[in-house]
């Protein structure tokens, strides 16, 4: 029997990774789709009057084993993929899209859902049940249930194409990332690069039986090179390679894919009665409309741009004075920013890294979670993983109740996409009187240990770990009835609040004292370093804010208009960046062709949500600071009203219940140093 088609006979029913052969996925998916169709058939053939229990609840639990199989498959496609998995994904995705459409376009099923929705005022439903009912109804009405048959077929075709295009986009980006190597053999070419980064580059070269150093486009290799390499021409070469991913008019080019995705999304929105893709998406977000998003981004732009221009001028003058640079280019940004930061604060990553050994930072995140939420993490070695790098933990609460399984995957490798993310293998839910606890994972790309040093993190990597761990806590502390409302299943512009707020503890002396210890001497990070970390937190914040806003505006430029007239990706992108550009344009690069967040991930019309959530997180952390950063009272309110509630109520209702009032942007502007008295 295929192990994927039954409840997994493992500890906590965790994914049996080592027992799964890739050939098992498709038969298992076919079996579970057929089983799910039978479950749908049972709902639609029920001759009883539709009720919440016999229709909405039954629908909620359709295809649970299918969800578990596909979560394993697609998580592996991101974290441990290969050609076989990628090829299979091209077959699996359209099949799942077709099945999803079979549900949302099923007239008999929609009729029952609509009946319950039309009679909801007569039902004695809990708040969570009302939310679920509304969500199920909208999943039909917003996805074609009211369309005529010919339009439904059009929708099916568009969705199939989009699922394949998104996969192709991601595969090309990964292939481009893996394809490029900068192989150096001369000492002069690696001048300025710290020993840790050189050792890692030497290890890559050694693994390929080459002399010297190999630098790649993986973040732990790329970022130190751009920050420290004295050779300006090589920085330009690296930056151009990074910025030209899938923009070379070759077999990995994504330009046509970007244009087609944008146009198909627009067609889909029009078919469903929406002006643009952004209008469709934002109807189910806190921001509500494209106009509000653009207004929000432009309001921040107005505050940030003068500061960004001042900072850019300061940086340009510094580079000219230091090295006679007449025109600051994008490949100079990290290099001279780091040099200026060292001059102003006498602080750099190389001074800080010895205090941020990966294992200590992990323990620090666990201790912060314990102090705030009474959680205890125990590493275990009897839970299966998909790679030897993956660590597994059991999580318990203050009463020793089992809370969650937690996976952590920290280092880059060939089959793993760049970046950092949180994901889930099993959602929390209550069913048949039993509480099912979640299986949560975070995936990052941090510097690997070398022959002489453990994995030492940059401060940015420390905040990244805390960020993803914040998402994980949102998943772990879920306490809802229905899986589709559990954990991170919230409005997209609310999902970043739990992750971004946790980053704040990385800047606090009280928290840093817990885990920032020198890996050789065990000395706690000196207070002067902590003060410098805090003082430098707003360093070049105007430029950083402008950069984030430019990404949000680019996203809206693809999705908040009719894109059918766009024929040139680069020209369109240049126009979108016009009001946020500081550096001269590089004609060889384009961002859109590798902008995975919006063309592969779930952030289309949603990239603004990082800044939106920053307003929430700055306001929320002010509340903690007023009462103590480890205040059990405030942490309990945050867990009760935000983390545990998932998507059971409107996020603003939950936030106000926690904070007592709506968030104000002042806390963010103050924290970013952009608030002018």
Residues 531-577 pLDDT 10s: 999 989 899 999 999 999 999 999 999 999 999 999 999 999 999 99
Confidence band for 669, pLDDT divided at 50, 70 and 90: confident
Same domain, residue pair 468 and 555? no
677 has pLDDT over 70: no
Write down the pLDDT at residue 347.
Answer: 87
597 has pLDDT over 90: yes
Asked, for residue 338, whether it belongs to a domain, the answer is yes
Asked, for residue 249, whether it belongs to a domain, the answer is no
Same domain, residue pair 630 and 524? yes
Q: Which of 146, 172, 192 is the last residue of a domain?
A: 146
Same domain, residue pair 519 and 548? no
Same domain, residue pair 507 and 396? yes
Asked, for residue 412, whether it belongs to a domain, the answer is yes
SS3 letters for 630-673? CCHHHHHHHHHHHHCCCCCCCHHHHHHHHHCCCCCCHHHHHHCC
Same domain, residue pair 417 and 329? no
Question: What are the tens digits of pLDDT across the range 206-228?
Answer: 999 999 999 999 999 999 999 99
Asked, for residue 313, whether it belongs to a domain, the answer is yes
Q: Are the CB atoms for 170 and 600 separated by under 8 Å?
A: yes
Q: Which of 122, 146, 170 is the last residue of a domain?
A: 146
Write down the pLDDT at residue 352.
Answer: 95
User: What would the mean pLDDT of 391-411 be, rounded to a whole number?
Assistant: 98
User: What would the mean pLDDT of 600-614 be, rounded to a whole number?
Assistant: 92
Lowest mean pLDDT among 77-81, 369-373, 414-418: 414-418
What total number of domains does the chain contain? 4
Domain boundaries, position 504: 354-529+624-671
396, containing H or E segment = strand 391-396
Q: Measuring CA to CA, how many Å separate 461 from each of 9, 232, 441, 465? A: 36, 25, 17, 6
What are the tokens at 662? 């709506």
Question: What are the tens digits of pLDDT across the range 274-330?
Answer: 999 999 999 999 999 999 999 999 999 999 999 999 999 999 999 999 999 999 999
Point out the catalytic residue in the list 32, 176, 338, 468: 468
User: What would the mean pLDDT of 475-502 be, rounded to a whole number?
Assistant: 96
Q: Which of 121, 146, 171 is the last residue of a domain?
A: 146
- Beta sheet of 391-396, edge-to-edge order: 376-380, 391-396, 402-409, 439-443, 421-426
Residue 508 is a catalytic residue: no
Phi, psi of 376 (to 5 degrees): -125, 130
Write down the pLDDT at residue 89.
Answer: 95
Write down the pLDDT at residue 530.
Answer: 93
- Looking at the chain, the whole-number percentage of residues with pLDDT higher than 90 is 94
Same domain, residue pair 497 and 390? yes
User: What would the mean pLDDT of 52-76 be, rounded to a whole number?
Assistant: 97
675 has pLDDT over 80: no
What does DSSP say about strands 429-431 and 213-215: parallel, antiparallel, or unpaired?
A: unpaired
Same domain, residue pair 91 and 220? no
Q: Measuring CA to CA, how many Å separate 416 from each of 68, 136, 389, 456? A: 20, 34, 12, 20
User: What would the mean pLDDT of 515-521 be, rounded to a whole number?
Assistant: 97
Helix, strand, coil: what percent of the chain each, to 5? 60, 5, 30
Neighbours of 122 (CB within 10 A): 7
608 has pLDDT over 70: yes
Q: What is the mean pLDDT of the chain?
A: 95
CATH code at 271? 1.10.1370.10
CATH code at 638? 1.10.1370.40
Confidence band for 601, pLDDT divided at 50, 70 and 90: confident
467 has pLDDT over 90: yes
Give the predicted TM-score (pTM) of the model. Answer: 0.90
Same domain, residue pair 134 and 26? yes
Same domain, residue pair 466 and 579? no
Same domain, residue pair 207 and 105? no
Same domain, residue pair 96 and 125? yes
Residue 425, helix vs strand vs coil: strand
Same domain, residue pair 236 and 368? no
Q: Are the CB atoms for 554 and 592 separated by under 8 Å?
A: yes
Asked, for residue 273, whether it belongs to a domain, the answer is yes
676 has pLDDT over 80: no
Asked, for residue 614, whether it belongs to a domain, the answer is no
């Amino acid at each position: 029997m295929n192990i994927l088609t039954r409840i997994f006979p493992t500890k906590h029913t965790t994914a049996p990774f080592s027992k799964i052969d890739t050939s098992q996925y498709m038969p298992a998916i076919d079996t579970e789709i057929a089983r799910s169709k039978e479950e749908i058939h049972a709902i639609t053939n029920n001759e009883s009057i539709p009720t919440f229990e016999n229709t909405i609840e039954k629908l909620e639990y359709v295809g649970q084993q299918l969800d578990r199989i596909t979560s394993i498959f697609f998580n592996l496609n991101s974290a441990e993929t290969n050609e076989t998995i990628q090829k299979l994904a091209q077959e699996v995705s359209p099949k799942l899209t077709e099945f999803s459409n079979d549900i949302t376009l099923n007239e008999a099923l929609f009729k029952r859902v609509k009946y319950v929705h039309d009679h909801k005022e007569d039902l004695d439903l809990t708040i969570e049940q009302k939310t679920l009912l509304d969500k199920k109804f909208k999943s039909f009405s917003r996805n074609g249930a009211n369309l005529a048959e010919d339009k439904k077929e059009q929708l099916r075709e568009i969705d199939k194409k989009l699922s394949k295009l998104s996969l192709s986009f991601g595969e090309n980006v990964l292939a481009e990332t893996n394809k490029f190597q900068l192989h150096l053999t001369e000492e002069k070419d690696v001048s300025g690069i710290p020993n840790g980064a050189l050792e890692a580059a030497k290890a890559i070269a050694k693994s390929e039986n080459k002399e010297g150093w190999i630098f790649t486009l993986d973040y732990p290799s790329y970022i130190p090179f751009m920050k420290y390499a004295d050779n300006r021409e090589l920085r330009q070469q690296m930056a151009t390679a990074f910025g030209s991913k899938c923009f070379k008019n070759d077999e990995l080019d994504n330009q046509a894919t970007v244009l087609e995705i944008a146009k198909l999304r627009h067609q889909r929105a029009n078919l469903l009665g929406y002006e643009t893709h952004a209008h469709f998406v934002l109807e189910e977000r806190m921001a509500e409309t494209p106009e509000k998003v653009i207004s929000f981004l432009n309001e921040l732009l107005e505050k940030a741009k003068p500061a960004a221009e001042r900072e850019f001028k300061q940086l340009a003058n510094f580079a000219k004075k230091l090295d006679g640079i007449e025109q600051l280019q994008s490949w100079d940004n990290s290099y001279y920013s780091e040099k200026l930061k060292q001059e102003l604060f006498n602080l750099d990553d190389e001074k800080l890294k010895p205090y941020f050994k990966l294992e200590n930072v992990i323990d620090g995140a666990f201790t912060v979670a314990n102090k705030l939420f009474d959680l205890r993490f125990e590493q275990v070695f009897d839970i299966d993983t998909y790679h030897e790098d993956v660590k597994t933990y059991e999580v318990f609460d203050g009463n020793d109740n089992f809370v969650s399984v937690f996976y952590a995957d920290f280092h880059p490798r060939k089959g793993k996409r760049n970046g950092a993310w949180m994901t889930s293998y099993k959602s929390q839910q209550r069913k048949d009187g039993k509480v099912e606890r979640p299986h949560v994972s975070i995936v990052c790309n941090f510097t690997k240990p070398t022959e002489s040093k453990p994995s030492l993190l940059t401060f940015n990597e420390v905040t990244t770990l805390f960020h993803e761990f914040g998402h994980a806590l949102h998943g772990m502390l879920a306490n809802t009835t229905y899986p589709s409302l559990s954990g991170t299943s919230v409005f997209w512009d609310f999902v970043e609040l739990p992750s971004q707020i946790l980053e704040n503890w990385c800047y606090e002396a009280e928290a840093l004292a817990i885990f920032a210890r020198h890996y050789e001497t065990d000395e706690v990070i000196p207070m002067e370093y902590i003060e410098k970390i805090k003082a430098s937190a707003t360093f070049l914040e105007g430029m950083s804010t402008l950069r984030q806003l430019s990404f949000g505006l680019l996203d809206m430029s693809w999705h908040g208009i009719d894109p059918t007239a766009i024929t040139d990706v680069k020209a369109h992108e240049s126009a979108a960046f016009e009001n946020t550009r500081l550096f001269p344009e590089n004609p060889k690069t384009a961002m859109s062709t590798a902008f995975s967040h919006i063309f592969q991930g779930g952030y289309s019309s949603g990239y603004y949500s990082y800044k939106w959530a920053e307003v929430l997180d700055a306001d929320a952390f002010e509340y903690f600071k007023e009462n103590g950063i480890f205040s059990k009272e405030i942490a309990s309110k945050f867990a009760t009203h935000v983390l545990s509630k998932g998507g059971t109520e409107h996020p603003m209702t939950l936030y106000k219940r926690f904070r007592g009032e709506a968030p104000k942007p002042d806390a963010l502007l103050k924290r970013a140093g952009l608030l002018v008295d």
